[in-house]
Amino acid sequence: MLTVYAADAGSDMLAFILRRLVQSVIVMLTVALVAFALFRFVGDPIASMVGQETTLAERAELRDALGLNDPFVVQFGKFVARASTGDFGISYRLQQPVMELILSRLPATLELALVSGVLAFVFGVGFGVYTALRRGNWLSGTIMTASLIGVSLPTFLIGVLLIWVFAVELQWLPSFGRGEVVQVGNWWRTGLLTESGRASLILPAITLGLYQMTLIMRLVRAEMLEVLRTDYIKFARARGLSNRAVHFGHALKNTLVPVITITGLQLGSIIAFSIITETVFQWPGVGALFINSVRFVDVPVMAAYLMLIALVFVVINLVVDLLYYAVDPRLRVDRANARH
């Protein structure tokens, strides 16, 4: 997914963005094809829409009216056109516009994913730097071992364990739901503004972010150790810069280039993987909505969810590449050459 661009004085920002946009459109069309195939091949859309007593003739008529007899390309084109305006039809199960359903569930998922992502990044970078700088002390060893457990335990198990310890045994935190929510603007209902909302967020956020945190931590540690061996770090030390300047000003900044990329991409996975966490904690987000739609073969919802996740990935990819561009001057438009 990630493309690495070589330092190229001739390339400029605009060409870069255009190229990435074209790539993004291709990715989205591919996913749209898969989503469209769901409609065609998973269940019979007509059967899901009509009652038992509808006659075959009526069904054929409906099929024609819905354009299901049109050539494949025409149907796909219509699907893409409607999807791009956010129209995925009506949910078979809930008889509501799919987009409305998703939008009402999205804030819950985004809040959970964002908090998990921030936790994962902050603790991942913190632990990674610590274990790289304090190699061999007992705390580093403990963190590393704990992180191994974090990587190897399945998400639902971590969720269940957390619920057992903190909700059932200690009774410190709620075990399910989103707590009290507050309406902000037209679309957004947030749990971040109430105490019960924040308390409800803690366990699911840890569950969802733990794997990403260990991943980021291991990446930061490995990158940091690598960077600490480089000549420019040796030279920075030889110039008498303080340990703090060397470690955080020079080493960490170079470490962050790949870490930002990975973390950004992980945010996509966090949203995608929130399905499991949302199920374990009965979190009313799009993940839970998707799981239910799969159970009832609610194809429009499944298709919309698929497209949504793809869109999230594509947008994140784009943003990450731009961030990359901002952090690493070697990828930037060559100002020096431009001025000459």
Partner 1 sequence: MAPVHKSGPLLSVRDLVVEFPTRRGTLRALDKVSFDIAEGEVLGMVGESGAGKSLTGAAIIGLLEPPGRIAGGEILLRGERIDNLPREKMRRIRGRRIGMVFQDPLTSLNPLYTVAEQLIETIRTHMDVSEKEARKRAVALLDRVGIPAAARRIDDYPHHFSGGMRQRVVIALALAAEPELVIADEPTTALDVSVQAQIIDVLKEICAERGASVMLITHDMGVIAETADRVAVLYAGRLAEIGPVRDVIQAAEHPYTVGLMGSIPTLTQTAERLTQIPGSMPRLDAIQQGCAFNPRCTRAFDRCRVERPDLIARGEERQVACWLYDPAKEAQDV
The answer to the question of residue 236 lying near partner 1 (CB under 8 A) is: yes
Which of residues 208 and 251 has its CB atom nearest to partner 1 in the complex? 251
User: By C-alpha distance, which of 324, 316, 212, 320 is closest to 257?
Assistant: 324
Please name the residues in contact with 140: beta carbons below 8 A apart, sequence gap of 6 or more.
Answer: 130, 131, 134
Residue 190: phi and psi, rounded to 5, are: -110, 145
Beta carbon of residue 18, minimum distance to partner 1 (angstroms, whole number): 24
User: By C-alpha distance, which of 268, 301, 22, 252 is closest to 130?
Assistant: 252
- By CB under 8 A, name the one of 230, 282, 315, 326 that touches partner 1: 230
Which of residues 118 and 233 has its CB atom nearest to partner 1 in the complex? 233
188 three-state secondary structure: strand
- By CB under 8 A, name the one of 30, 96, 242, 282 that touches partner 1: 242
* Candidates 164-172, 180-188, 309-317, 324-332; binding stretch for partner 1 (CB under 8 A): 324-332
Which of residues 82 and 253 has its CB atom nearest to partner 1 in the complex? 253
Please name the residues in contact with 336: beta carbons below 8 A apart, sequence gap of 6 or more.
Answer: none
Which of residues 68 and 245 has its CB atom nearest to partner 1 in the complex? 245
Beta bridge partners of 97: 90
Contact map string, positions 181 to 220, toward partner 1, x by CB under 8 A: ----------------------------------------
- By CB under 8 A, name the one of 241, 294, 297, 322 that touches partner 1: 241
46-82: buried (b, 16+ CB within 10 Å) or exposed (e) per residue?
eeeeeeeeeeeeeeeeeeeeeeeeeeeeebbeebbee
Q: What is the DSSP string of 96-117?
A: SBHHHHHHHHHHHHHHHHHHHH
Mutual angle of helices 138-152 and 195-228, in 10-degree steps: 120
* Candidates 34-42, 85-93, 235-243, 260-268; binding stretch for partner 1 (CB under 8 A): 235-243
d(CA 303, CA 40): 11
The site that binds partner 1 (CB under 8 A) totals a number of residues, namely: 29
Site for partner 1 in 278-307 (CB under 8 A): none
The answer to the question of residue 249 lying near partner 1 (CB under 8 A) is: yes
**Residue 204 CA neighbour count, 13 Å, CB half:** 36
The answer to the question of residue 330 lying near partner 1 (CB under 8 A) is: yes
Which of residues 318 and 327 has its CB atom nearest to partner 1 in the complex? 327
The answer to the question of residue 328 lying near partner 1 (CB under 8 A) is: yes
Which of residues 37 and 326 has its CB atom nearest to partner 1 in the complex? 326
The answer to the question of residue 240 lying near partner 1 (CB under 8 A) is: yes
**Residue 322 CA neighbour count, 13 Å, CB half:** 14
d(CA 252, CA 166): 35
Contact map string, positions 6 to 35, toward partner 1, x by CB under 8 A: -x----------------------------
The answer to the question of residue 4 lying near partner 1 (CB under 8 A) is: no
Length of the chain: 340
Site for partner 1 in 134-173 (CB under 8 A): none
Beta bridge partners of 183: 189
Beta bridge partners of 188: 184
- Residues forming the site for partner 1 (CB under 8 A): 7, 230-232, 234-243, 245, 249-250, 253-254, 257, 327-330, 334-337, 339
